[in-house]
């Protein structure tokens, strides 16, 4: 049964199914008044009468258009011919530039850089936007290595085109590399909105502050977390469910700006479900971290870290003991 919404009050169908509609005693105005009281009592999750925050919807559409600029033809609904490419790119970049400048201006107005006068926020937003767009060729160079690493590292991949169009990892790392450029330009809010959008879509949480080298690949993607102060070298490969996280966050905001997350040097492989913790933890070059390992200290280069002494028993269901602590 579907609820009916009438002007001024809520109405619900009869529990007896006879079609009689009972009016709810409280009017919409009264319900709104209750919510307004909540706004007054519980500050901190309201944003009223303040600076206009960046729009999540606008940033989402900008991010999608940035992916179109990075991978022409892969994120478009229609075929782009080489003869039309320049016109398409100029038009799209002009559109992205204006919209992104507006969102960056909102971010700067929300948290103005020290020493920058209000009258200078718009020119600064325009300057940052143009610098960011000039970074796109460099971002494409990095992404080319990521796509190659994914293709070379996954025998299930049929082609690099399949990797780009179908692997959630590519979308996640592309957005992170874009957001990383804005993060280092000290633009608040927007980088995290971008990466959390990708996180929601792909299941992989890559903080925009993380430093990630070339030829990065996460197979299966889901559940992998890379924290803000992580530093990853070149040719790092990880699998699903890997956590590169802080050892403790009990210090709260006092930890801001400190190195909280681990460093993985070149050619490190981390298998599914492993957790590596701590800002002073360094995984030496060429090391392999086995599945489900929980590691809180550094290991030297070319280390193999695995569990030892774990046993697994395989038996016939018919032969299993009559009394058991679990049921199958």
Kindly state the tokens that stand for 191.
Answer: 């980088």
CB 212 within 8 A of CB 190: no
- What strands, in cross-sheet order, belong to the sheet with 4-6? 4-6, 9-13, 21-27
**Which tens digit of pLDDT belongs to each residue from 235-251?**
999 999 999 999 877 77
pLDDT at site 310: 65
Burial 60-92 (b: 16+ CB within 10 A, else e): eebbebbbbbbbebebeeeeeeeeeeeebeeeb
pLDDT higher than 80, residue 13: no
Task: Categorize the per-residue pLDDT at 293 as very low, low, confident or very high, splitting at 50, 70 and 90.
Answer: very high
**Which tens digit of pLDDT belongs to each residue from 147-191?**
999 999 999 999 999 999 999 999 999 999 999 999 999 999 999
pLDDT higher than 80, residue 17: no
pLDDT at site 326: 40
pTM over 0.85: no
**Which tens digit of pLDDT belongs to each residue from 33-59?**
888 888 888 766 667 666 778 999 999
Mean pLDDT (the chain) is: 87
Kindly state the tokens that stand for 1.
Answer: 């049964």
Q: Nearest-CA neighbor of 215 among 269, 145, 268? A: 145
Which residues have C-beta within 8 Å of that of residue 23, sequence separation ≥ 6? 6, 9, 10, 11
């Amino acid at each position: 049964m579907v609820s009916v919404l009438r002007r001024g009050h809520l109405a619900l169908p009869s529990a007896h199914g006879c079609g009689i509609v009972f009016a709810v005693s409280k009017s919409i105005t009264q319900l709104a008044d209750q919510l307004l009281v909540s706004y007054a009592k519980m500050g901190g999750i309201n944003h009223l009468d303040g600076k206009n925050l960046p729009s999540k919807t606008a940033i989402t559409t900008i991010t999608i258009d940035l992916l179109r600029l990075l991978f022409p033809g892969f994120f478009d609904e229609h075929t782009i011919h080489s003869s039309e490419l320049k016109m398409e790119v100029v038009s799209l970049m002009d559109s992205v530039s204006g919209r992104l400048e507006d969102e960056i201006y909102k971010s700067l107005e929300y948290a103005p850089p020290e020493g920058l006068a209000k009258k200078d926020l718009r020119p600064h937003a325009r300057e940052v936007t143009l610098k960011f767009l000039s970074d796109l060729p460099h971002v494409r160079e990095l992404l080319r290595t990521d796509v190659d690493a994914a293709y070379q590292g996954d025998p299930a991949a049929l082609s690099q085109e399949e990797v780009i169009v179908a692997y959630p990892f590519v979308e996640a790392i592309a957005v992170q590399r874009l957001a990383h450029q804005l993060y280092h330009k000290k633009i608040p809010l927007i980088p995290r909105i971008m990466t959390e959008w990708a996180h929601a879509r792909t299941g992989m949480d890559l903080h925009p502050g993380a430093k990630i080298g070339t030829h990065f690949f996460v197979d299966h993607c889901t559940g992998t977390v890379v924290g803000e102060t992580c530093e990853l070298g070149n040719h790092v490969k990880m699998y699903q469910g890997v956590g590169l996280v802080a050892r403790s966050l009990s210090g709260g905001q006092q930890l801001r700006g400190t190195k909280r997350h681990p460093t993985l040097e070149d050619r490190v492989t981390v298998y599914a479900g492993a957790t590596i913790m701590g800002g002073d933890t360094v995984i030496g070059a060429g090391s392999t971290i086995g599945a489900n390992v929980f590691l809180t200290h550094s290991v030297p280069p070319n280390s193999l870290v695995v569990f030892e002494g774990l046993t697994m028993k395989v038996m016939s269901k018919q032969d299993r003991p009559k009394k058991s602590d679990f049921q199958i």
